[in-house]
A and B are shown apart, each in its own frame.
Chain A
Amino acid sequence: MNQIAPGPAQTAASRATTTFLNYQQRRFISKLALTFILGFLAIIMILPFVWMISTSFKTGNEVFNYPIEWLPAHPVFDNHIKVWTEGFLTYYLNSLKISFLCMIGSCFWGALAAYGFSRIEFKGRDQLFFLYLAMLMIPPQILFVPRFIMFNWAGIYNTHWALILPGQFTIFGVFLLRQFFKGIPREISESAAIDGAGHLRIFSQIILPLAKPALVTFCILDFSWNWNNYEDALVFLVDRNLYTVPLGLTNFIGEHNVDYNGMMAAAVAAIIPMLIVFLVGQKFIIQGVANTGVKG
C-alpha cells in the first residue's frame, strides 16, 4: 500500500480516491512493463522465423550482410519459384495425402478404443490399458529395424503404406481421448441405454458430438506430427517421387548447399501450412497441449 501522509485538509473520502488512483496507475504501469519485457522476449523467440522469411526474398550476396537487413532492399521471388518448380508440389501432395489419411484413421480407431477404455466395463480392461501405456515407453529406435524387416517382407518398404499403416494407430490419442470421454457425465449415456440405444449409437450420437473439441485438438496435433515426421520418411522412403516435405527439404538443401536463399525459401515452404493451421486452430492446439500436461 502507498504510504501517503494525509494532509489536514484531506477528508477520508478523498484520501481513498488518491490511493485508489495510485493503485490503478501502478497496476497499469506494472502491466505495461511486464508486457514490454515478455513482448521483447517473444520477439526474440520468433526472430529466426522473421530472418528465414526475409532471407528467402534476398539475393545471394545479401544473406550475411551485417547489420541484418530485415526488409530486403530489393526483394526477389526467384528463390520461391525455384523451390516450387523443383519438386515441392509433389512433396506437398505426398505429405498432404499421408498426413490426412493418418489423421482420419488414428482419430477414428483412437476414438473407438478410447470409448471402449473409458465407458464400457469389461474384464481385463485396465490391464490392457496399462499395457498401452507401457508401450509408450518403447523408444522408436527399437521399432525401426523390425519394421524395416517387416515392411520389406510385406513389400511395402519404399511405399507410402510404410507411413500410412502404422500412422493409423495411436497410443497417445487413445490416452488423450479417453481422458476427455471420462469427463462426460455417466447419466447422459445411461439414460440413452435405458431408451434401448446400443453402444454404437451412444458413441456416434452422444459421445462424439460432445467430444468435438477434444477430437479437433487431437486431429490438429496428429496432422502436424505427421506433416513434420522426418524420421519415418527418412527410414522408409527411397524414391524421390515418394518424398514428403521434410525429406524433400533435406534433399533440396543437399543439392543447393551454398544457395542459402534457396534453402530459406524451401524452409518457408515447409512450415507455411503448419503456420496457417496454427493461426487458425491456435486455441485448440494450446488448449489440447495444456490438457495433456495437467491431466496426464
Chain B
Amino acid sequence: MKMSWSKRQKFAGYLFIAPNMLGIIIFFLIPALISFVVMFTDLDFLSKAPVNFIGLDNFARVFSDETFYTALKNTFIFLLAVPVSIAIAVFLAILLNNKIYLKPILRAMYFMPYITSSVAIAFVWSLLLQPTSGPINGFLRSVGLADPPRWLASTETSMYGIDLIMVWYTLGFNMIIYLAALQEIPTELLEAAKIDGARAWQTTLRIILPLISPTTFFLLITGLMGAIKTFGLIQAITQGGPGDSTVVLSLFVYRTAFSYYELGYASAIAWVLFVIVLVITAIQWVGQKKWVYSN
C-alpha cells in the first residue's frame, strides 16, 4: 500500500536533511561535547600518564595565568578593528551609493582584499610595515615624520599594526553589505528630505544611519564573532610576537593545544573564549534596543 502524499512528504523531510545533519553531528556537535568533557581533565598529548579528572583546576589555572590576561587585553585591542572598519565602510558605502563613474570596478577594488589568502596578506604587510626600510615608513619619513612607529616590530604598537591590517582586510566586505542595505532605502524618503531642505549630512545622520542600523548591528555581531575566532592571520604575521604582545585568546588556545599539547588546559581556555563570545553577543542584544531601528 502506498503512503499518502502528505505522509510521504513528512518522511521525506527527514531524509533530505539527514546527510547534512549527520555530518554536523559528527563534526560539530560530538566534538563540542568531547571538548566539554576534556576541559575537566589534565589530558596531555605528549605525556603517557593516565588521564585524570581534575574538576575545575584548569579554570583556576586560566584565571591565574598571566598570559591569559595579556591575551585578553590583546583580544580587546584586536576587536577595535571591527567598529573602525565598520565606520569607514559606512562612510565609503554612502559615497559609493551616489551616481559615480566606474562603480562596479571601484566596488571590486575595495572588496579584493577579502577574497585573498590571509597568509599572503600577512607577508605582504609584514614587509610593507617593516620599520627601518619598509615603504610605509619610507613614505611617512618623506612627508616629514622623523620617527615613524615601529609597527609590528615593537611590543607597544604591534597589536595596532595588526588592527590596521584587519581593517584593510575586512573593509570591502562591510562596505558591500552596507551598499546592499542602502539600496533598500526607499528613494521617496530621501527625496522628501531634500524637498524639505535637509542638507546631505542631515539626511545621512537622521535618515540613512538610523535606517541601516540593523545592518550595523549585524556587522558588529558577526564581525566581533569572526575577529574573536581569528588566529591564522596573526599566527602568520607575528606568531604572537614580539614577546607575547600579539597573542590573542584564540592564538593562546592554539599554542597551548598544538605547541605544548596540553589538550585539557587548551579546552578550558577555549570554553572561556566561548563564554566571552556569548557575553559580548548578549550585551549587544540588550544594547541594540537603544540604537537599532525597527519598523
Contact = CB atoms under 8 A, between A and B. Distances in A.
Interface in A24-44: 27, 30-32, 34-35, 37-39, 41-43
B68 interface: no
A interface, over-half SS: helix
Nearest to B20: A113
Interface residues of A, number: 100
Interface of A: 27, 30-32, 34-35, 37-39, 41-43, 45-46, 48-49, 51-52, 55, 63-64, 66-68, 109-110, 112-113, 115-117, 120-123, 125, 128, 132, 135, 137-150, 165-166, 168-171, 174, 193, 198-200, 203, 224, 227-228, 230-231, 234-235, 245-246, 249-250, 253, 260, 263-264, 266-268, 270-271, 274-275, 277-279, 282, 285-286, 289-294, 296
Nearest to B178: A293
A228 B117 contact: yes
B32 A138 contact: yes
Interface stretch (B59-67, B76-84, B133-141, B147-155): B133-141
B160 interface: no
Contact of B31 (A125, A150, A277): A150
Contact of B34 (A39, A67, A122, A150): A150
Contacts of A32: 101
A49 B13 contact: no
Interface residues of B, number: 101
Contacts of B69: none
Interface of B: 5, 8-17, 19-21, 23-24, 27-35, 38, 45, 92, 95-96, 98-102, 104, 106-113, 115-121, 123-125, 127-128, 130, 133-135, 138-139, 142, 168, 171-173, 176-177, 179-181, 184, 215, 218-219, 222, 225, 228-229, 231-232, 235-236, 249-250, 253-254, 257-258, 263, 266-267, 269-271, 273-274, 277-278, 281
B96 A109 contact: no
Given A135-B29, A234-B235, A142 B270 contact: yes
A293 B181 contact: yes
B86 to A, nearest CB: 12
**Which A-B residue pairs are the 7 nearest by beta carbons?**
A169-B23, A116-B16, A293-B177, A122-B13, A290-B180, A146-B31, A113-B20
A138 B225 CA distance: 10
Contacts of B10: 120-123
A43 B11 CA distance: 55
A27 B99 contact: yes
Contact of A294 (B11, B124, B172, B177): B177
Contacts of B106: 35, 38-39, 42
A231 B257 CA distance: 13
B32 A146 contact: yes
A130 B117 CA distance: 31
Contact of A278 (B27, B115, B225, B249): B115
Nearest to B113: A45
A39 to B, nearest CB: 6
Nearest to B266: A145
